[in-house]
Amino acid sequence: MFRTMVRKEVQNGVFSLRFIVVFGLLILVVPVSILILTNDYVKKVDEHSYRRSGTEEYLKSYAHFNRLQNVIRPVEPPLPALTLVRGLSSDVNLDEFDDDPLPVMFPLLDLVFVVTVLLSLAALIFSYDAVCGEKEEGTLRLMLANSVPRSKIVLAKIAGGMITLFIPFLVSVAFGLSTVVLNPRVSWTGANWGALALLLAGATVVVFFFHTLGTLVSALHHASASSIMTSLCLWVILVLAVPNLSPYAASLLSPAPSRIKTSREISRLTGVDRDDLGRKLQAERMSALVKKYPVLAERLTEAEAKERVSRDPAYREASEARTREVQAAWDEANRIQTARARALEADLRGKEEAQTRLSRDLSLASPLADFTYFATDVTSTGLRDRAHFAELSGLWDGAYWSYVRAKIDSLQKKDPAVDWWNTPVDVSDMPRFQYTEEALGTRVKAALTPLLVLLILSSSLFVAAYVAFIAYDAR
């Protein structure tokens, strides 16, 4: 009986106008977007290779340590997953346009957009009349009159609707992947195929969420017109409003200091305030020093002071003590003001991180945010990959400076008269930055939280839809 009902739902869906429209849209959008992203990936690979070869040529002739670090900054190579998911790796600096700004003004589509926007909307379109539409046509009363359990009916509607939606989606993804597989410049590993399987699993949960939401709304209405309006309003809230409003809500609930004000305060602390404190500490130390060395109270010109130092050992001792005390006063002023500046920076950083975490937590109420976090983390194109890249860059930076110090020390031992900081040297043995992508298992563990939240939300909606259908008046 259950299989029969599922088959009926699939047949009704496949032969409907909405299926034809969704199929046509997906079969056009998905392959074209993957083709464009694949070509964009190949272009980035070429640019990255050209940049590396240019850097190596530069190092052979112009390797000055004074200017070297700006040339060999760590750069993350383009990853094969960019053929499916744009993520953060495709962000472009608006000041560095070379030919065409339109890809930034009108961002390219990717698999995340297809799932969270097109498929989610299609799921609501397929399910908004799942219950109230059957009631309007009179078929719901006939099913219930045949003693068909309501639990099987609601399960069959959700299962049949999801199967109907995944037919065009999987076909379109298969067509799109053909452009990736057939492109000789793209080389996918087993981890990439594993990430794709996880993306499809996540897409299943997203479709289940929205199809169940549509079924719930349908079970709360008795007319299809009102059901579709409610469904669309909820879609706008969940997909558009919640992710975009969460940063503003987080800024109100967990405010952070202004970066501009903090920067100005730090400049004041390490500038004017440091000078004032340095002069104050210097005066205090000099006041105590004059009591020990009364000769320092005498006012002498610079020439007179130099002449007296050369012939008067007592004055030379007092002068050296004055130099030490002045230096100690300014060192103390620098230490105090630097500590205050670092405290401000730490406070700003801590509050910004807390605000970011709160914004992310609030956005998890949106299935769009849940799937976006999950997809970008699994494919190494999101915030986690940025943190991973920063960690690798930090490790390389430490190795680079250790190399620089050791290299300069060895060169100075050979020829102390040369300024090796500004002289070309052989750096063929310098450590090069090598990016290594996180293991798929590590990425999956990090991406489980948004997926679990989405599963919990979907399960809650299913329970609500089941209860609403059980209590639905089919008369």
Q: Which of 9-23, 306-320, 373-387, 441-455 has the lowest mean pLDDT?
A: 306-320
Evaluate whether residue 105 is within a structural domain.
yes
Q: Report the C-alpha gap between 234 and 68 in whole angstroms.
A: 54
Give the integer Cα–Cα distance in Å for 69 and 400: 9
Do 26 and 100 belong to one domain? Answer: yes
Q: What is the DSSP string of 188-230?
A: --HHHHHHHHHHHHHHHHHHHHHHHHHHHHHHT-SSHHHHHHH
Can you spell out the DSSP letters for 392-439?
HHHHHHHHHHHHHHHHHHHHHHH-TTS-TTSS----TTSPPP---PPP
When the pLDDT of each residue in the chain is averaged and rounded to a whole number, the result is: 88
Confidence band for 201, pLDDT divided at 50, 70 and 90: very high
Q: What is the pLDDT of residue 59?
A: 83
Distances (CA, A) of 177 to 45, 57, 71, 113, 309: 19, 37, 37, 16, 83
Let me know if residue 386 belongs to a domain. Answer: yes
Domain boundary among 346, 362, 378: 362
Mean pLDDT of all residues in 190-201: 94
Last residue of a domain, one of 362, 386, 405: 362
Q: How many Å apart are CA 194 and CA 378, to the nearest integer?
A: 9
My answer on whether 11 and 125 are in the same domain is: yes
- Would you tell me the crossing angle of helices 242-253 and 367-378 to the nearest 10 degrees? 90
Q: H-helix or E-strand containing 275?
A: helix 272-292
Structural domain contains residue 393: yes
Output the pLDDT for position 472. Answer: 85
> Which pLDDT value is given to residue 95?
45
User: How far is Cα 450 from Cα 376, in angstroms, rounded to an integer?
Assistant: 11
Q: Is residue 444 located within the same domain as residue 336?
A: no
Which of the four pLDDT bands, split at 50, 70 and 90, describes residue 358? very high
pLDDT at 425 > cutoff 70: yes
Rg value, the chain, Cα:
34
- The residue among 329, 362, 395 that closes a domain is 362
Q: Is residue 436 part of a domain?
A: yes
Q: Are 60 and 141 in the same domain? A: yes
Q: Is the dihedral of CA 82, 31, 364, 456 positive or negative?
A: negative
How confident is the model at residue 92, as a pLDDT? 45
Percentage of the chain beyond pLDDT 90 is: 59
State yes or no: pLDDT of 302 exceeds 50.
yes
Query: Higher-confidence residue: 166 or 419?
Result: 166
81 shares its domain with 191: yes
Asked if residue 435 and residue 344 are part of one domain, the reply reads no
Who has greater pLDDT, 70 or 212?
Answer: 212
137-164 tens-digit pLDDT = 888 787 777 777 888 888 999 999 999 9
Counting the structural domains of the chain, the total is 2
Asked if residue 442 belongs to a domain, the reply is yes
pLDDT at position 363, please?
94
Residues 321 and 270 in one domain: yes
Range of the domain at 128: 2-254+363-470
For residue range 240-283, what is the model confidence (pLDDT) as tens digits? 999 999 999 999 999 998 889 999 999 999 999 999 999 999 99
pLDDT at 197: 95
Burial tier of 354 (Cβ tally within 10 Å: 0-12, 13-18, 19+): middle
Are 369 and 450 in contact by the 8 Å Cβ rule? The answer is yes
219 shares a domain with 110: yes
Q: Do 247 and 304 fall into the same domain?
A: no
Mean pLDDT lowest among 4-18, 56-70, 119-133, 153-167? 56-70
CA–CA dist 425, 418 (Å, integer):
11
pLDDT at 338: 94
Check: pTM over 0.95? Answer yes or no: no
Percentage above 70 pLDDT, the chain: 96
Q: Is residue 475 part of a domain?
A: no
Please check the confidence at residue 348 and state whether its pLDDT lies above 60: yes
Kindly report the CA angle at 401 between 400 and 403, in degrees rounded to 5?
A: 65
| Residue 372 token pair | 């976006």
Nearest 10 degrees: Cα torsion 383, 387, 390, 391: -160
The average pLDDT across 31-37 equals 93
- State residue 421's pLDDT score: 82
pLDDT value for 97: 41
pLDDT category of residue 101 using cuts at 50, 70 and 90 = low
**CB-CB contact of 341 with 270 (8 Å):** yes
| 292 and 171 share one domain | no
Q: Same structural domain for residues 141 and 269?
A: no
In a domain, residue 161? The reply is yes
31, 61, 67, 307: which is closest to 177 by C-alpha?
31
**Does residue 205 register a pLDDT over 50?**
yes
**Residue 299 maps to a domain:** yes
Q: Which residue has the tokens 């032969």?
A: 15
Compute the distance between CA of residue 78 and CA of residue 89 in angstroms, rounded to an integer.
8
Q: Is 97 helix (H, G, I), strand (E, B) or coil?
A: coil
Tell whether 377 and 459 lie within a shared domain: yes
- pLDDT exceeds cutoff 90 at 420: no
